[in-house]
A and B are shown apart, each in its own frame.
Chain A
Amino acid sequence: MSLVAIKNISKSYWRDSLEIPVLRNISFDIPEGEFLALMGPSGSGKTTLLNLIAGIDRPTTGSIVIGGTDIGGLGETALAQWRSRIMGFIFQFYNLLPVLTAFENVELPLLLTKLSSKERRDHVEFALKIVGLEERMRHYPKQLSGGQEQRVAIARAIVTDPTILVADEPTGDLDKVSAEEIMKLLDRLNSEFKKTIIMVTHDPRAAERAHLVRHLDKGELS
């Protein structure tokens, strides 16, 4: 059964009166537990497609149904709440808040829940243990290496136990060794914790970890 159903979506941006189409009539399904890699040249629309699936952007036409919810029908606040429950986000540049420790960064999404302080602590420590950074929880992002920062970002993404992890070039800012560690971790999250992962990447080695690779070119699936 498909977890994500994408039907005839198109996305265009407008520059003054000029329409710039980015995605054209895309339809495909993603089954639950899948590890999908979206590949394609720069400007092919893969990040735009990821943003639409993640619910941080809206298609010009078409619908996206995730876990039975048509996310196009959700208002801004409902969509934000939906994202906090269903989606975990991993960015290329980690996007950790520099004034917060690793623990506090991972705890951020839990502030939106009704969990008690102790429950939050347990969840955060568990997430940091999964990524192997329980010893670094009091460290600030600037005290961590790039690979460690990305692992904190992954812990932040999984701490609410979301159904789907979306990763936009998760190894794009890392050296080879760190990139390999991150990909192993994502692999583990998919196989051991059954997370559905949708990853945008340029890196063929990263794509090798995925079970399914879809290529985008000029806004169309090839």
Chain B
Amino acid sequence: MKIFKIIFKNGLRHKLRTILTVLGIMIAVTAFGFLRTVVTAWNAGVSASASNRMITHHSVSIIFTLPIAYRDQILKIPGVSAISYANWFGGVYKDASDFKNFFPRIAVDPETFFDLYPEFGLSSGEREAFMKDRNACVVGHKLAEEHGFKIGDIINIEGDIYPGTWEFVVRGIYQGRDATVDETQMLFQWKYLDERIGQLQQGRQGEVGWYVLSVKNPADLAPVSKTVDDMYFNSRASTKTETEKEWQQSFVSMSSAILTSLTVISYVIIGIILLVLSNTIIMATRERIREYAVLKTLGFTRGHIIGLIGGESMLIAVVGGVLGLFLTFPMAGAFAKAFPTWFPIVVVEPLTIVLAFGAALFAGLIAALFPAMKITRMNIVDGLRTIG
């Protein structure tokens, strides 16, 4: 028999209490891991931003557009190596009340978009087909899976920002380079949008929602931003140029209160783990004061006693933590499945695993600290007199 066997037997002394404590830790670790994963998913766009890309949009709001004429002018600015542009299309696909029918629909320049976004993987054949047909579109792999889109399928969208019924033909399905790439978008030709809206509302022709700029050198980011914005300062459409990360961050910051709440709740959960485990260990230790006194009498040292109490606490924490982590993955998977287009990138990050498991270990350590201190300081004679 080794000391570990005593720890194990002590842990199973009150099976129901131990099982409930393990379940409590498991649920808390799962909740902690899940909330952090949601926060991570919310910030996925920010994390996936490229460091060499900048966005130029209307200085007042993204709902105002910029003239297409800016494209050639911006491209001439020193430091800018490439430029593309896009419009948020909006629209309604099938039943608008069904969450899964909401997915980003963006008009892009097919000739430049994929050069600036190499993380969107599209075969050369599909890219060629996309450029050939005016009403062609490409969809992300996840979106295609979700809706069963195949090459050649027709997607009908009822326009809202851009009125009318719009028909698109799927000519390609892009794959993300890694798990951080959003595969839930539908991209179509900007020219299709421009030509059709020109027929309906002539004044809206030649307008883009935002420009995507590529800079060779990160040191050029600030001067390019200043040059672009200064150039259009007194124009009818003044601009705001920022890094892609800042641009993504501006969307996330709209939900900052929710994100902060989720983060705070995730840390409160660590406190809950601590309370659940502390309660069990304190109860268990109090019941065994006399036994620990006997062990001390037999010659067990302070280190042995700390090992027994700490070991039991850590055993419960580790089992609960491991089970909690195992449960986090299906939870995150179910969440991703429920909101595929709202949260296109749901990944349980290694840091989340480390923090969730670390929280359980931390709780195990702290929960054992005070009972262990109390027992090691206890006078043997007082301990032997205890009726437990």
Interface residues of A (CB under 8 A from B): 51, 54, 56-57, 76-77, 80-81, 83-85, 89, 91, 95, 97-100, 104, 107-109, 111-112, 156
Contacts and interface: CB of A to CB of B under 8 A. Distances in A.
B13 interface: yes
Contacts of B381: 51, 56-57
16 contacts: A56-B297, A56-B381, A57-B380, A57-B381, A80-B296, A81-B301, A85-B299, A89-B294, A95-B294, A98-B13, A99-B10, A100-B9, A104-B1, A111-B1, A111-B2, A112-B300
B384 A84 contact: no
A109 B9 CA distance: 17
B6 interface: yes
Contacts of B1: 100, 104, 107, 111
A213 to B, nearest CB: 24
A112 B10 CA distance: 19
A51 B296 CA distance: 13
B292 to A, nearest CB: 10
Nearest to A52: B381
Given A57-B380, A99-B13, A80 B291 contact: no
B214 to A, nearest CB: 68
Nearest to B5: A104
Given A76-B302, A77-B302, A81-B299, A111 B3 contact: yes
Contact of B299 (A84, A95, A104): A84
Given A100-B6, A100-B9, A108-B295, A80 B290 contact: no
B23 to A, nearest CB: 22
Given A99-B9, A100-B6, A91 B298 contact: no
Interface in B1-27: 1-3, 5-6, 9-10, 12-13
Contacts of A91: 294, 384
Contact of A83 (B12, B291, B297, B379): B297
A56 B381 CA distance: 7
B302 A97 contact: no
B9 A80 contact: no
A84 B294 CA distance: 12
B206 to A, nearest CB: 82
A95 B296 contact: no
B301 A80 contact: yes
B238 to A, nearest CB: 77
Contacts of A80: 296, 299-301
Contacts of B10: 99
A105 to B, nearest CB: 10
Given A97-B294, A99-B12, 15 more contacts: A51-B380, A56-B384, A57-B380, A57-B381, A80-B296, A80-B299, A80-B301, A83-B298, A89-B298, A91-B384, A95-B290, A99-B6, A99-B9, A99-B13, A111-B2
A146 B2 CA distance: 27
A176 to B, nearest CB: 25
Nearest to B379: A57
Contacts of B384: 56, 91, 95
Contacts of B380: 51, 56-57
Contacts of B301: 76-77, 80-81
Contacts of B5: 104
Contacts of B9: 99-100
B291 A97 contact: yes
Nearest to B12: A99
Contacts of A51: 380-381
Nearest to A121: B1
Nearest to A108: B298
Contacts of B297: 54, 56, 83, 89
Nearest to B294: A95
B9 to A, nearest CB: 4
Nearest to A85: B299
A79 B1 CA distance: 24
A53 B380 CA distance: 14
Nearest to A56: B380
Interface string B240-280: 00000000000000000000000000000000000000000
Q: Top 3 closest A-B pairs, CB basis? A: A84-B299, A99-B9, A56-B380
Contacts of A112: 298-300, 304
Contacts of A85: 299
Contacts of A56: 296-297, 380-381, 384
Interface centre among B3, B290, B295, B297 (most CB of A within 10 A): B297
Interface centre among A51, A54, A77, A80 (most CB of B within 10 A): A80
Interface string B298-313: 1111101000000000
A41 B5 CA distance: 42
Contacts of B302: 76-77
Given A56-B297, A83-B297, A95 B291 contact: yes
A109 B291 contact: no
A81 B10 CA distance: 24
A156 B300 CA distance: 14
A77 B296 CA distance: 10
A56 B297 CA distance: 6
A84 B296 CA distance: 9
B315 to A, nearest CB: 14
Nearest to A48: B381
Nearest to B8: A99
Nearest to A76: B302
